[in-house]
């Protein structure tokens, strides 16, 4: 079957670094996405990985290991505004029916 | 502002009724995706249209249907509504068939009473 696991909640301190893990089991893997969603708002795109390795974009980095079915999102120099839910999503399926399967999200609380 | 417009923002209706949710994608985007988000199930992919044609289908109920019009706006029709259909419905759009980055609208919060 298809399954995406990520921790339900995490807490971190302003200015610190936090790593949010995501493990997945899927067939026909075609990319992994991270989105940020503030409460009551729309998800916004953070990163996309399709090959193994680290993608860095400012304070945010995302890592993928396809052989391990594993990704993480690394947030550096945490700010209060980073308090949000972080959604891991995997794209899979045959070429004519690819879709995103979403994890339930990790709710991150950044404390002063 | 993502550039994706969804109307209405809120909708309250009774069980058994039918509603239509509307989505206008970003200018230039040909793909439109519909998602349902509830507290216990997270984001669930419903359906994707690309340039007017159905492209991919998720766990969309038979009571639900969608279409994309020639001007690329899309509508999601929900019929025979049940209490369990209460959720946030998001529309997203992207330029191509396979989104490496999709832009989400602010959602329509549907409450079925």
- Most A CBs within 10 A among B44, B94, B100, hence the mutation to make, goes to B100
**CB contact (8 A) between residue A105 and residue B44:** no
Q: What is the pLDDT of residue A1?
A: 58
Chain A nearest C-alpha distance from B55 (Å)? 6
**CB contact (8 A) between residue B90 and residue A44:** no
Q: How far apart are CA B13 and CA B61, in angstroms?
A: 18
Q: What is the pLDDT of residue B96?
A: 87
Residue A79 exposed, middle or buried by CB count within 10 Å (0-12, 13-18, 19+): exposed
**CB contact (8 A) between residue B42 and residue A99:** no
Looking at chain B, how many residues does it have? 113
Digits of tens for pLDDT over chain A (112 positions)? 578 999 999 999 999 999 999 999 988 888 999 999 999 899 999 999 999 999 999 999 999 999 999 999 999 999 999 999 999 999 987 777 778 899 999 999 999 9
Chain B nearest C-alpha distance from A75 (Å)? 19
Reported as a single tens digit per residue, the pLDDT across B40-99 is 788 999 999 999 999 999 989 999 999 999 999 999 999 999 999 999 999 999 998 876
Under 8 Å CB-to-CB from A32, ≥6 apart: which residues?
Answer: A22, A24, A48, A49, A50, A62, A64, A71, A88, A89, A90, A91
Helix (H, G, I), strand (E, B) or coil at B98: coil
Nearest to B45 among A30, A41, A99 (CB): A99
CB A24 within 8 Å of CB A5: yes
Structure-token match 């994608």, residue found: B25
């Amino acid at each position: 079957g298809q399954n995406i696991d990520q921790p339900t909640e995490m807490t971190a301190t302003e200015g610190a670094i936090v790593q949010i893990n995501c493990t997945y089991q899927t067939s026909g893997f075609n990319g992994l996405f991270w989105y940020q969603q503030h409460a009551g708002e729309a998800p916004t795109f953070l990163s996309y990985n399709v090959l193994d390795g680290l993608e860095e974009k400012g304070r945010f980095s995302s890592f993928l290991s396809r052989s391990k079915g594993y990704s993480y999102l690394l947030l550096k120099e945490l700010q209060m505004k980073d308090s949000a839910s972080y959604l891991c999503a995997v794209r899979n399926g045959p070429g004519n029916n690819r879709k995103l399967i979403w994890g339930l999200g990790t709710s991150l609380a950044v404390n002063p | 502002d993502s550039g994706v417009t969804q109307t209405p923002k809120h909708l309250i209706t009774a069980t058994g009724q039918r509603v239509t949710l509307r989505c206008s994608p970003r200018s230039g985007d040909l793909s439109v995706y519909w998602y349902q988000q509830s507290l216990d199930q997270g984001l669930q992919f419903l359906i994707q249209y690309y340039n007017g044609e159905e492209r991919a289908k998720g766990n969309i109920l038979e009571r639900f249907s969608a279409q994309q019009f020639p001007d690329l706006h899309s509508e999601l029709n929900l019929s025979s509504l049940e209490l369990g259909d209460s959720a946030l419905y998001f529309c997203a759009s992207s330029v191509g068939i396979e989104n490496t980055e999709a832009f989400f609208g602010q959602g329509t919060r549907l409450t079925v009473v």
